[in-house]
Amino acid sequence: MLRRAVYLSLGALSLALLTGCQKEDATEEASGAKAADDRVRVAMLQPPRSGLNPLTDDAFKLSRWRTAETLIRLNDDGDPQPFLATEWTQLDDRTWRFEIRDNVTFHDGTPLTASQVVRALTAATNAVPRPRILDGVNMTIEADGDSAVRVRTETPDPLVPNRLSSPQLAIMAAKAYGEDGRVNPIEAGTGPFVLKEINGTQSATLDRYDDYWGERAELAGIDADYVPDGTARAAALRTGTADVVEAVPVSQVALIDPERVHEVPMPRTNTLYLNTDHGVFSDPAMRAAAREALDRAAIVRTVYEGRADEAKGLLGPALAWADGLRSPIEGRPEAADPAGASITLGTFTDRAELPEVAVLLEQQLEAAGFDVRQEVRQYAHIESDMLAGQFDAFILSRATMLDSGDPVAYMYSDFACEGSFNIAQLCDPEVDRAISHAADLPTGPERRQAIIEAEAAILSTDAAVPMLHERVIQGESRRVQDAVRDPRERELITEHTHLDDTTR
């Protein structure tokens, strides 16, 4: 009996151990299954145009997925911060030295070195077409020992660190660069997520990169689908087939749980440009009349359903520092009586809201005494006439920070005598001096103050009447935590983004 009892006890113990092991295995399997399922599903606005080549606008997708990284990143004020470069010094007015971060590996396992930084940046300078951030900039890069590079520009350029923050200047592994000038980003970045698969213009797949130099990503991966149709993107959020959705259309917002919708101010301003060179608006008093006729609140309330910000200047709330530095604009002329003056107002159809703005603005200008004729075409068919000054007034939605995270390039392009995008045909010595002064200063408080002074010089001419600042509407499911709502649209999913299924 004793022997039988011992056998029974041993059997019970074995059964308990077996059951315990099975429970532990089941727990591990469940944990593993959760980790495998801990992937975020993203519905992107636009498909790639160049196979996710980082030397093109597709670079911003790689940046938003945190697979490709740059030497520099920008803080909220647009000032440069360390990233793959840990520090930098300006050796003279045309030469900068950047120290490269240690212990960084590309997704193919090769190390980040100074020579590879030289290869990557040189490929960008030789690209056809070149990345926008290098427009008008002649730059050479060479190794300075094993852990630093020197960047030289043909002319003094205080924005070199800012330029190196552009996603189009991401540093990729040697294998990424082909002889044909194309760059293949698959398993070639340095970020917390490794790009594993590109499915044409349909989707892309990324997995966590466990050897990332920074903090290990909380997500197991990213599944990105390209959904150009805005109604379909909104439906993906409503039905739970997407966790994060880019650019929810205003028309769809009312159909979505308000807790899932997040509005982000963009560095983009809708502006009425007035032709200062010839025609009705060559008279500053007539420009003043157009400015005073504008009812910003009505445009925001009706066309944008309240989901935009009335403009106080050219630079909007996406640049948090701008409004606090402004002073009242002085020296503007008194408005004249339009007395039936005939003007042509142009805009384009590619941005659906602009023709609606044109209709409302026509009503406001005619109420002030102008006789308005509209001309609305596709952008490709109107751009040359717009730049040639063929319109008295033109409505444009314009990015104000471009790729450097700094507004000076936009101000020069749109308002300097030699600006390449000078719709208003403005050539004012005071404006040129103010822009040049800002351009010569290093990034920081002094440059920001000079930028606001340049804005004031531009606004005092009434060559441009800012109407509103756009917002991008980002959709997120309740379970998404710490997705980035970035006005520059450089970040979206990061190593800190995670899913919390208890919040479904």
- Closest by Cα among 364, 241, 240 to 302: 364
Give the pair of three-digit tokens for residue 435: 């822009």
Q: Per-residue pLDDT tens, the chain, 504 aa: give them.
A: 333 333 333 344 333 433 444 444 443 344 444 445 699 999 998 889 889 999 988 999 999 999 999 999 998 888 899 999 999 999 999 999 999 999 999 999 999 999 999 999 999 999 988 887 887 789 999 999 999 999 999 999 998 999 999 999 999 999 999 887 789 999 999 999 999 999 999 999 999 999 999 999 999 999 999 998 889 999 999 999 999 999 888 888 889 999 999 998 888 999 999 999 999 999 999 999 999 999 999 999 999 989 899 999 999 998 889 999 999 998 899 999 999 999 999 999 877 789 999 999 999 999 999 999 999 998 889 999 999 999 999 999 988 886 777 888 889 889 999 888 899 999 999 999 999 999 889 888 999 999 999 999 999 999 999 999 998 899 999 999 999 999 888 999 999 999 987 765
Type of residue numbered 429: P
Total-model pTM = 0.77
pLDDT value of residue 228: 86
For residue 139, what are the contacts with CB-CB under 8 A and spacing of at least 6?
A: 121, 125, 151, 152, 153, 154, 160
CB contact at 8 A, 86 and 101: yes
Domain with CATH 3.40.190.10 in the chain: 59-243+477-503
Cis before 80? omega within 30: no
CB contact at 8 A, 112 and 104: yes
Distance CA 146, CA 101 (A): 11
For residue 140, what are the contacts with CB-CB under 8 A and spacing of at least 6?
A: 122, 125, 151, 152
pLDDT value of residue 504: 57
Domain with CATH 3.10.105.10 in the chain: 266-471
CATH of 266-471, one of 3.40.50.150, 3.90.1010.10, 3.10.105.10, 3.30.2010.10: 3.10.105.10
- Closest by Cα among 408, 411, 407 to 419: 411
Give the CA radius of gyration of the chain. 27
CB contact at 8 A, 185 and 195: yes
pLDDT value of residue 503: 63
CB contact at 8 A, 70 and 172: no
Calculate ∠ Cα 71-247-209, nearest 5°: 40
pLDDT value of residue 310: 96
Q: At what angle do helices 408-415 and 429-440 cross, to 10 degrees?
A: 160
Distance CA 368, CA 361 (A): 11
Give the pair of three-digit tokens for residue 274: 């007035």
pLDDT value of residue 28: 39
Distance CA 374, CA 344 (A): 6
Give the pair of three-digit tokens for residue 141: 């890069």
Write the secondary structure of 129-151 as one string of H (helix), E (strand) and C (coil).
CCCHHHCCCCEEEEECCCCEEEE
- Which CATH fold would you assign to the domain 59-243+477-503? D-Maltodextrin-Binding Protein; domain 2 (3.40.190)
pLDDT value of residue 455: 97
